[in-house]
Amino acid sequence: MPAITAALRDKDSRNTMIMKIVPFLGLLFLILFFQIVTKGNLLSFKNLRLIFNQGYSLFIAALAGVFVISTGNLDFSMGGIIGFSCVCATLAATKINPVFAVPAALLVGTLMGTVNGFAQTILKLPSFIACLCMMFILMAGTQSLITGSSIMMPIVMMKWETTTMKLIVLAIYAAVMVVMFRFTKLGKELKTLGVSWEAARQSGVSPRVRIFQAYTLSGFAAGVTGFFLMLRTGGAAISTGSTMTTDVIVAIVFGGMAISGGASSKITAAMLGTLIVTILNNGMVLAGYGGDAQQLVKGLLFLVIISISTSRDPNVIIK
């Protein structure tokens, strides 16, 4: 038994080391590869600005996704919340006043995240079931609110889409999220839950409170994401946010964080992973590959990274 335990410990240590190095090497490889393939267009000023705009919403959502995944849970409803928040923000801007778009998106997103937390902590539903049901409900809500295929925001709001404003919001948002995850009890206790709920309870952690907070924060971030997607696309569509759930999970895993969460969870995984996913998508478009090819490559890479980073314990399931 001691020999087996030591071997498993060595394997976990090796996997952790690999997951620290691989994301940086992968990002460097992607930059060099697509810079060559696109004949220098990848790092042109125009394309770098495009990369920033393409990855902006994913970055916001992924930072909050770390809080949920660190507990060993997954938020499958994030894409649905983003889409529904975007629709509500657009309707508030068109039916009432453009200034109401911001509170509408934030309130709707936060409320939906709170419902997720309530379903899991009070109703005691598994996160997989609660979030999946929420996603289906919000997809139906989005389709019922959009009479056609899309709705447009007021033209006057186009002036809100500025790089300066987005940088200011991103800097403040990222700073707050980093401080919360790395230097407060919230982040530390969420990672403790990812290791062992029983050990967390014995340490004085309240799993219900922390899970509730993680999903509420995820919902708030989805609301912020929905608002900025509205500005970028000029409104809301039935498909808004449809791929965001998987993109967030893929980005965090690509950034070097285990999907099972735990002590190795890190906020920098969202930052690095967002860069990797965005550059991968952007580079493949520049190289002439369509969306199907992008999904295929991301799926294969995701499978490889999961196989490297995940311990094969048959008793571990999604909480």
Average pLDDT over the chain, rounded to an integer? 87
Annotate 130-143 with b (16+ C-beta within 10 A) or e (fewer): bbeebbeebbebbe
Task: List the one residue out of 260, 227, 225 whose CA is nearest residue 243.
Answer: 225
Token pair, residue 248, equals 């967030």
**For the segment 173-231, what is each residue's pLDDT rounded down to a tens digit?**
999 999 999 999 999 999 999 888 888 888 888 999 999 999 999 999 999 999 999 99
Please tell me the predicted confidence (pLDDT) of residue 196: 86
CB atoms within 10 A of CB 114: 16
Domain-by-domain residue ranges, the chain?
23-309
Task: Label residue 5 by pLDDT band (50, 70, 90).
Answer: very low
- The CA distances from residue 281 to 35, 41, 151, 183, in Å, are 13, 14, 26, 33
- Predicted confidence (pLDDT) at residue 15 exceeds the cutoff of 80: no
Q: 152 — phi, psi (to 5°)? A: -105, 145
Q: pTM here?
A: 0.89
Please tell me the predicted confidence (pLDDT) of residue 6: 43
Q: Which fold has domain 23-309?
A: ABC transporter involved in vitamin B12 uptake, BtuC (1.10.3470)
First to last CA, the chain: 28
Residue with tokens 């990222």: 174
Task: Label residue 315 by pLDDT band (50, 70, 90).
Answer: very low
- Strands, DSSP E only, in 232-289? 235-237
- Predicted confidence (pLDDT) at residue 57 exceeds the cutoff of 80: yes
User: Going by C-beta distance under 8 Å and a sequence separation of 6 or more, which residues neighbour residue 43?
Assistant: 31, 35
- Predicted confidence (pLDDT) at residue 34 exceeds the cutoff of 60: yes
Please tell me the predicted confidence (pLDDT) of residue 261: 86
Residue with more model confidence, 75 or 13: 75
Task: List the one residue out of 88, 132, 93 whose CA is nearest residue 106.
Answer: 88
The 8-class DSSP code of residue 312 comes to -
- Predicted confidence (pLDDT) at residue 26 exceeds the cutoff of 80: yes
Token pair, residue 86, equals 């975007």
Q: Within 13 A of 176's CA, how many CA atoms are on the CB side?
A: 10
Residue 74 sits at the vertex; the CA angle it makes with 68 and 75, to the nearest 5 degrees, is 80
Residue with more model confidence, 259 or 291: 259
Length of the chain: 319
- Predicted confidence (pLDDT) at residue 8 exceeds the cutoff of 50: no
Task: Label residue 309 by pLDDT band (50, 70, 90).
Answer: low
Burial class (CB in 10 A: 0-12, 13-18, 19+), 248: buried
- Predicted confidence (pLDDT) at residue 7 exceeds the cutoff of 50: no
Please tell me the predicted confidence (pLDDT) of residue 115: 96
**For the segment 59-68, what is each residue's pLDDT rounded down to a tens digit?**
999 999 999 9
Yes or no: say if 117 and 212 are a contact pair by the CB < 8 Å rule: yes
